[in-house]
């Protein structure tokens, strides 16, 4: 494990110390968790954007996509536990 040093403003350090105390953990553990959460969030966002780009390329390649209202209806049904048929891809090019 490597050592990294962070330069924090006094105010930010005090906020981190106070938050750590409220959680019952050390300031070091608090900062490590915060950095881990930020890295995970950035990785998930990058993956989401890559998936969106791939879906767009697929849509442009095939000329097919999904009707937004059908997708919304399907997702609402899934959230409530109802069964609803998955939307079918349709041609969007004329």
Q: What is the mean pLDDT of the chain?
A: 95
* Number of independent structural domains in the chain: 2
* Chain centroid to CA 82: 25
Span 29-54, pLDDT tens digits: 999 999 999 999 999 999 999 999 99
What pTM was computed for the model? 0.72
The answer on 94 and 54 residing in a single domain is no
**80: which 2 tokens?**
């409530």
The answer on 46 and 28 residing in a single domain is yes
Residue 91: exposure state from Cβ atoms within 10 A (0-12, 13-18, ≥19):
exposed
The answer on 69 and 55 residing in a single domain is no
Could you tell me if residue 68 is inside a domain? yes
Span 81-94, pLDDT tens digits: 998 889 999 998 76
When pLDDT is cut at 50, 70 and 90, the band that residue 68 belongs to is very high
pLDDT at 73 over 90: yes
| Percent of all residues in the chain with a pLDDT value above 90, rounded to a whole number | 93
Nearest Cα to Cα of residue 37 among 11, 14, 59, 19: 19
The answer on 39 and 70 residing in a single domain is no
């Amino acid at each position: 494990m490597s050592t990294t040093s962070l330069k924090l403003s006094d105010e930010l350090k005090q906020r981190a110390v106070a938050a750590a105390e409220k959680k019952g953990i050390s300031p070091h553990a608090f900062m490590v968790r915060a950095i881990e959460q930020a890295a995970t969030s950035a990785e998930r966002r990058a993956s989401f954007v890559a998936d969106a780009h791939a879906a767009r390329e697929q849509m442009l390649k095939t000329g097919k996509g999904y009707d937004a209202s059908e997708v919304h209806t399907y997702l609402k049904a899934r959230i409530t536990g109802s069964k609803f048929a998955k939307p079918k891809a349709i041609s969007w090019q004329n």
